[in-house]
């Protein structure tokens, strides 16, 4: 199965961002992709620092409707980051939505690990998700979803793998900084290797972001990688490759949840 990653920098203009996504979705279709992955916060820029509540929309709002049309008109699955309104709150959910090739909402994932690090306080503007995960099926593959900072927490990737994910989709707005680009690559590859899954990571570019979107295979081998500019890249996800790696490296069978639960009880 061929998937594409659309790397771009979101502005404060939602309409312009949607047009960019629509254009990149057409490009992904022309590349033969059946799924296209866009960054975290593809709907509207995190910057400048301000309340995101005025930009928030429900899952049946106009932005998701625009994503639905792009998916339906191009006949491929669209995965992108939005800011979902929270009734009665001045914060929003940092949500990833998945629209099938028929334009129907397959599901959503609300980011659970908020980026309160490196001088940033995402929790001041974002409501954390409850912990509900999202794994969906397409063709002969199962895809799990997480968001940006989540990649630093192996528990979530492991949970998605335990739920059957053959590949993990990681929309991100990876803030640039000292050693951050190196950490991005190490973490993306590590989560793929330790869970014997493909990992597709689509990042934002522009001022403050690292780019370097990439698709890596279950052995951590780079299948496709972007640079620092806006672009669409594509690569193949092969279920036979997943199975072959898991035969020679059956690490998921060696997981010890019984021991980990005991450790967690002792830690309390």
E-state strands within the chain:
2-7, 35-37, 77-85, 92-99, 105-110, 126-127, 135-138, 141-145, 167-171, 198-202, 214-216, 222-225, 231-236
pTM (2 decimals)?
0.97
227-248: per-residue pLDDT in tens?
999 999 999 999 999 999 999 9
Q: Map out the domains of the chain as residue ranges.
A: 2-267
Mean pLDDT of 35-41: 98
2-267: CATH number: 3.60.110.10
Per residue in 192-231, pLDDT tens?
Answer: 999 999 999 999 999 899 999 999 999 999 999 999 999 9
Alpha carbons 235 and 216: distance in angstroms, whole number? 9
Mean pLDDT on 167-183: 96
Give the C-alpha separation, 4 to 77, whole Å: 10
Among 47-51, 154-158, 186-190, 210-214, where is mean pLDDT lowest? Answer: 47-51
State the pLDDT confidence band at 267, using cuts at 50, 70 and 90.
Answer: confident
Mind listing the pLDDT tens digit for each residue in 108-160? Answer: 999 999 999 999 999 999 999 999 999 999 999 999 999 999 999 999 999 99
Q: Catalytic amino acids?
A: 40, 111, 148
């Amino acid at each position: 199965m061929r998937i594409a990653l659309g790397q771009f920098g979101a502005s404060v203009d939602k309409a312009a961002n949607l047009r960019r996504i629509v254009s990149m979705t057409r490009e992904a279709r022309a590349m033969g992709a059946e799924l296209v992955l866009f960054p975290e916060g593809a709907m509207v820029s995190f910057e400048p620092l301000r309340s995101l509540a005025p930009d928030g929309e429900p899952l049946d709002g106009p932005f998701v409707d625009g994503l639905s049309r792009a998916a339906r008109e191009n006949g491929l699955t669209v995965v992108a980051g939005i800011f979902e309104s929270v009734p009665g709150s001045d914060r929003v959910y940092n949500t990833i939505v998945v629209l099938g090739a028929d334009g129907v909402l397959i599901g959503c994932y609300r980011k659970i690990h908020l980026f309160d690090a490196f001088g940033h306080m995402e929790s001041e503007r974002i409501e954390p998700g409850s912990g509900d995960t999202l794994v969906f099926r397409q063709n002969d593959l199962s895809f799990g979803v997480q968001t940006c900072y989540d990649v630093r927490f192996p528990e979530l990737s492991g949970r998605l793998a335990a739920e059957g994910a053959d590949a993990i989709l990681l929309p991100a707005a990876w803030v640039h900084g000292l050693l951050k680009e190196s950490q991005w690559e190490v973490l993306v590859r590590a989560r793929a290797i330790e869970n014997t899954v493909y990992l597709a990571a689509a990042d934002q570019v522009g001022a403050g972001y690292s780019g370097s979107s990439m698709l890596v295979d279950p052995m951590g081998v780079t299948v496709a990688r972007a640079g620092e500019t806006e672009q669409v890249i594509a690569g193949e996800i092969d279920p036979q490759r997943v199975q072959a790696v898991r035969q020679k490296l059956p690490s998921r069978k060696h997981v010890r949840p019984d021991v980990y639960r005991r450790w967690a009880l002792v830690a309390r």
